[in-house]
Structure 1
Amino acid sequence: MKRFLIAAAATAALLGAASQAQAEKVRIGYWSSGVSLGFGAVLETGKFMENQGLEVEYVKFPDVNAPTKAMAAGGIDFAIAAPAAASMSVAADGLPMSIILATQVADLNFVVPEDSPIKSMAELKGKKIGGSPAGSATAAIAQAILEKNYGFASGDYSLVPGNDPRLAQFLYQKDIDAAALRTVTIALVKDVKLRAVGTFREEWKKLSKSDAPPVLGVGLIRNDWLKANPEGAAKLVAGMRKAYEFGKADKAAVAKALVEAANMSQDDARAYAALWDGIYTVSMEASDIASLKTAFEIFKSVGAVKGALPDAALATAPYEASKAIK
């Protein structure tokens, strides 16, 4: 009988271990362009999640809003940089997802061709302005800046949606008058000489009455996975934090990852890597919570989001638990 009990206990332990290993499988999604590309490339090539003991499947999407949609459909468990506005919107709508990190800063400029007669933000009234598609955080921030800081109504300008390379091409062809472009894109554009007439950081400071930069992307997680894998969620955040610190410390390695994973040229990869510290963050401190809540109210005031953002949608437990992981 004693031998039977020992054997049963051993079997239960093995089954428990197997169950835990299976529970910590995670599907991680990200947009394979824009700012998401750099962090995703480093995260994958450096195996930061695998080093935390997670079994990972990476899923790349060609559209900025696709990771959020995929999570709503149960296709992924965690998005490393879902658009902040869309993420807050789905949370306000009651979809079972939570924000567990601020991961990207809106480091963008409003730019015009160097020879443009436009000299200021106020002169964008009545112009064609390129930007990210509706539903993205970039579009919501740009809309809020134009309407709140400069009094533009929705009919006072034409928004031309597109990804950054296409918008740069539109500027070159004079198809649009201005565009909101990421500093990463501006650093990589070779054929178009551009001039900034405003920055998201400074305009957001006026709007929010805060020095905190606008959050562009967030770590969004499926609530069912979070509930089933609280320790796994802490490991996810630990992997994100380690990848962020790695990128800050070793720009050459970031550039190498971009060459290998994104087929970038050496020069473009180095230019992209140099911007790492200014475009990424991995944090969920009280100041980040306050910044996200402020952003939600600003987005709501211009109709980009609706409803109320529940406190429970901003989940800090994984971030706090990750601090104990070395």
Structure 2
Amino acid sequence: MRLKHWFESWLPALALACWLGMPAAHSEEIVVSNYGVSASGMPFAIAMEKGFFDGKVSGILSSQGGGTTVRNLLAGQIAYAEVSPIAAATAIRQGAPLKIISNNVQTVSEFGWMVKPDSPIKSIADLKGRKIGYSSPRSVSQALAMLIVEKAGLKASDVELVMTGGLGEALVALDLGAIDVAPATEPLLSKYRDKYRIIATADELFPSMSNVVGVTTDAAAASRGDFLRGIVTGRAKAVAFMSDNPEEAAQIVAKVYKLDPPIVLEAIKHLTRKGEGLPYWSTGKFDLAGLKEMWRAQILVGAAEGEIDWTKLIDVSFLPEAERSLK
């Protein structure tokens, strides 16, 4: 009886000790394409550091490309992923049980096109007969290269598009003279703007083109509403923080992305310019015009085909009521 009494008296304390030593019951990993590399994922670094996810996220997994991220989402126990809208829409059209729940990036403002300092190319009007680099077939950089040619009033045959295998590799190809124009994205754009000359930026040419969305599975949407709303809300807080506190945000992102803080600060200032058009990082509200323009761009490179009704792929219920309209 004494042993039983001792055990019962200490049971609450033992339970508390065990609970304190365990990770939170609802803390789990999420997937963000190219996290630690692409500017699109920077708000997640802020949200993790500042605790904006309220302990719901234990870690962030990175994966290369939208297709890989979608496969990871469908194959594992992961409830949320940040991915390209084209990868998400294509998977849904093929029967994947997915829902798009937030519009995370509204433009391709992270892109710019660089030439050597002594290049005779001053703007996209000078591209005729030139070699323009892009990373890989069906990539956003290939689609944007084709749209630049279109913007310049040229035909596809007026330029030569050259695959470089990556954006870092494109700058090497530019140095070697294999191409005349190299695409670059933030933070590379800010890192090398003193070495090369920028002839155009995407925010000048393509003001609305949604490039990244938040995605979940049908099963998680039905059973994990609080978790998903916490992710969307926490990321939105991070976007606001980056705009209001760029210096502190740069210090946080620099550690995750392994870059010098001044370079990250330059990138954040470039992408969070207040009152200068559509913001790069969205708090989640959908921009249908931007999604449609991205789909059209991907059709140009064979990564998408046919018409698509985005409203049938989107679930706005995880956004604040004020941001649920679809325009």
TM-score bin, normalised by smaller chain:
0.7 to 0.9
Is it true that 1:173 corresponds to 2:176 in the alignment? yes
Q: Which residue of 2 aligns with 1:207?
A: none
In structure 1, C-alpha distance between the alignment counterparts of 2:158 and 2:120, rounded to whole Å: 22
In structure 2, C-alpha distance between the alignment counterparts of 1:289 and 1:94, rounded to whole Å: 22
Q: Which residue of 2 aligns with 1:314?
A: 314
User: What's the offset of the Cα at 1:256?
Assistant: 1.4
Answer 1 or 2: which has greater helix percent.
1
Pair 1:154–1:72, CA change in 2 (3 A): farther
In structure 2, C-alpha distance between the alignment counterparts of 1:281 and 1:242, rounded to whole Å: 11
Correspondences of 1:16-95 after superposition (within 5 Å): 25-31=28-34, 32-49=36-53, 51=54, 53-63=55-65, 66-74=68-76, 76-80=78-82, 82-95=83-96
Aligned with 1:150: secondary structure?
coil
Equivalent position amino acid for 2:269 in 1:
A
Aligned with 2:58: secondary structure?
strand
Q: Which residue of 1 aligns with 2:8?
A: none
In structure 1, C-alpha distance between the alignment counterparts of 2:204 and 2:306, rounded to whole Å: 28
Q: Deviations over 1:181-232 (max 9, x none)?
A: 2253221116732231x3323333xxxxxxx522222222233222221232
Output the TM-score relative to the length of structure 1.
0.75
In structure 2, C-alpha distance between the alignment counterparts of 1:66 and 1:86, rounded to whole Å: 9
Q: Deviations over 1:91-118 (max 9, x none)?
A: 3333222222222220122322221122
Q: Which residue of 2 aligns with 1:260?
A: 255
In structure 2, C-alpha distance between the alignment counterparts of 1:257 and 1:146, rounded to whole Å: 38
Output the TM-score relative to the length of structure 2.
0.75
In structure 2, C-alpha distance between the alignment counterparts of 1:269 and 1:309, rounded to whole Å: 36
Q: Which residue of 1 aligns with 2:281?
A: 281
Pair 1:241–1:186, CA change in 2 (3 A): same
Pair 1:125–1:223, CA change in 2 (3 A): farther
User: What's the offset of the Cα at 1:323?
Assistant: 7.0
In structure 2, C-alpha distance between the alignment counterparts of 1:67 and 1:232, rounded to whole Å: 19
Larger CA deviation: 39-48 vs 297-306: 297-306
Q: Which residue of 2 aligns with 1:188?
A: 191
Correspondences of 1:86-105 after superposition (within 5 Å): 86-104=87-105, 105=107
Equivalent position amino acid for 1:232 in 2:
F
Q: Which residue of 2 aligns with 1:227?
A: 222
In structure 2, C-alpha distance between the alignment counterparts of 1:38 and 1:24, rounded to whole Å: 20
- 8 A Cα contact 1:89 1:306, kept in partner: no
Correspondences of 1:127-146 after superposition (within 5 Å): 127-146=130-149
User: What's the offset of the Cα at 1:149?
Assistant: 5.6
Unaligned 5+ segments in structure 2 are 1-23, 274-278
Q: Which residue of 1 aligns with 2:239?
A: 244
Aligned with 2:315: secondary structure?
coil
State the percentage of identical aligned residues: 21
Count of aligned pairs between the two proteins: 292
In structure 2, C-alpha distance between the alignment counterparts of 1:68 and 1:142, rounded to whole Å: 25
Aligned with 1:215: secondary structure?
coil
In structure 2, C-alpha distance between the alignment counterparts of 1:191 and 1:102, rounded to whole Å: 32
Q: Which residue of 1 aligns with 2:264?
A: 269
User: What's the offset of the Cα at 1:180?
Assistant: 2.3
Pair 1:214–1:237, CA change in 2 (3 A): same
Which structure has the greater CA radius of gyration? Answer: 2
Q: Which residue of 2 aligns with 1:117?
A: 120
- 8 A Cα contact 2:33 2:65, kept in partner: no
User: What's the offset of the Cα at 1:155?
Assistant: 8.9
Correspondences of 1:290-301 after superposition (within 5 Å): 290-300=289-299
